[in-house]
């Protein structure tokens, strides 16, 4: 079975109604290749407007709405949190979980990340599980150990078979928002490690999972990155705020 490519836009705490309008009008004319999904993840307050505009403007069915985070709890006294059911009501399909900014600024542990993945899967939404090493961990040749330590708690909690419904984004922390992209060889080598790590638990699931690369992807470097055997698209931060550039990235991706 073919593997789908995914290009996901992580707006972080940027953009608002104006960017929703601009992205929707830009994406009306985007040309997507076969087996590609595009996911736009604005901040929570704009999910509803994005969903409405995608429907009203009859955008390509491969264009979806995603959230940047979710609570692991179903409901209750968790002030400021957003549940999977709330996201479902807004027709959200994907949820970014475990982004390095959440792990470092909000102290999210891999066990908490696993709980969020579990809640997201139970709600029938697709988690985009972010993993990645810091600059010092790479320098100390700890990358594989770190990635394994981020993946294993999720495997333990939801089971390897559930990875059939998970997308993984490998994002070296040192490449996020810094303009320092991993070379395509380095990214490919790490993606291959991730696929092999999953294959030890289930080869079939590992062969089919979409593995995205994230970290300063732009219109100039995406073609080479996406051409790598184990890279199935990207999680795009800064460049996703520039609609023409983002459209070019979306058009470059294709399923494998």
Active site residue 64: no
Catalytic-labelled residue, pool 101, 133, 171, 191: 171
Q: Which of 125, 70, 78, 126 is nearest to 98 (CA)?
A: 70
CB 34 within 8 A of CB 195: no
Q: What is the DSSP letter of 77?
A: S
Closest CB to ligand PEP belongs to which residue?
237
Q: Give least dist CB 125 to ligand PEP, A.
A: 18
- Integer Cα distance of 237 and 230 in angstroms: 21
Active site residue 171: yes
Catalytic-labelled residue, pool 99, 101, 108, 133: 99
Which residue number, 24 or 238, has a Cβ lying nearer to ligand PEP? 238
Q: Which residues bind ligand PEP (CB under 6 A)?
A: 10, 12, 171, 176-177, 214-217, 235-239
Which residue number, 4 or 12, has a Cβ lying nearer to ligand PEP? 12
What tokens were used for 101?
């900014």
State the sign of the Cα–Cα–Cα–Cα dihedral 106, 109, 115, 116: positive
Q: Give least dist CB 203 to ligand PEP, A.
A: 28
Which residue number, 15 or 238, has a Cβ lying nearer to ligand PEP? 238
Backbone torsions φ then ψ of 172, nearest 5 degrees: -60, 125
Q: Give least dist CB 164 to ligand PEP, A.
A: 23
Which residue number, 202 or 242, has a Cβ lying nearer to ligand PEP? 242
Largest CA distance in the chain: 51
* Cα-based torsion angle of the residue sequence 209, 106, 42, 180 in order, rounded to the nearest 10 degrees: -70
Residues forming the active site: 99, 171
């Amino acid at each position: 079975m073919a593997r789908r490519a995914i290009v996901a836009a992580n707006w972080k705490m940027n953009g608002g109604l104006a960017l929703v309008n601009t992205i929707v009008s830009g994406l009306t004319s985007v040309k997507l290749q076969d087996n590609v999904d595009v996911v736009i993840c604005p901040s929570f307050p704009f999910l509803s407007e994005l969903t409405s505009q995608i429907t009203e403007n009859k955008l390509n069915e491969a264009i979806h709405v995603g959230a940047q985070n979710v609570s692991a709890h179903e409901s209750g006294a968790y002030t400021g949190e957003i549940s999977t059911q709330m996201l479902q009501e807004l027709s959200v399909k994907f949820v970014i979980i475990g982004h390095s900014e959440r792990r470092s600024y909000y102290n999210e542990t891999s066990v908490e990340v696993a709980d969020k993945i579990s809640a997201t899967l139970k709600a029938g939404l697709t988690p985009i599980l972010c993993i990645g090493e810091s600059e010092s961990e790479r320098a100390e040749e700890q990358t594989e150990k770190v990635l394994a330590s981020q993946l294993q708690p999720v495997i333990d909690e939801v089971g390897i078979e559930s990875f059939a419904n998970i997308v993984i984004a490998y994002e070296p922390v040192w490449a996020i928002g810094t303009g320092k992209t991993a070379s395509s060889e380095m990214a490919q080598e790490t993606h291959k490690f991730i696929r092999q790590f999953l294959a030890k638990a289930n080869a079939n699931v590992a062969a089919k999972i979409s593995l995205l690369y994230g970290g300063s992807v732009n219109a100039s470097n995406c073609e080479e990155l996406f051409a790598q055997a184990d890279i199935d698209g990207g999680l795009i931060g800064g460049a996703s705020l520039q609609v023409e550039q983002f459209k070019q990235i979306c058009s470059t991706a294709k399923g494998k």
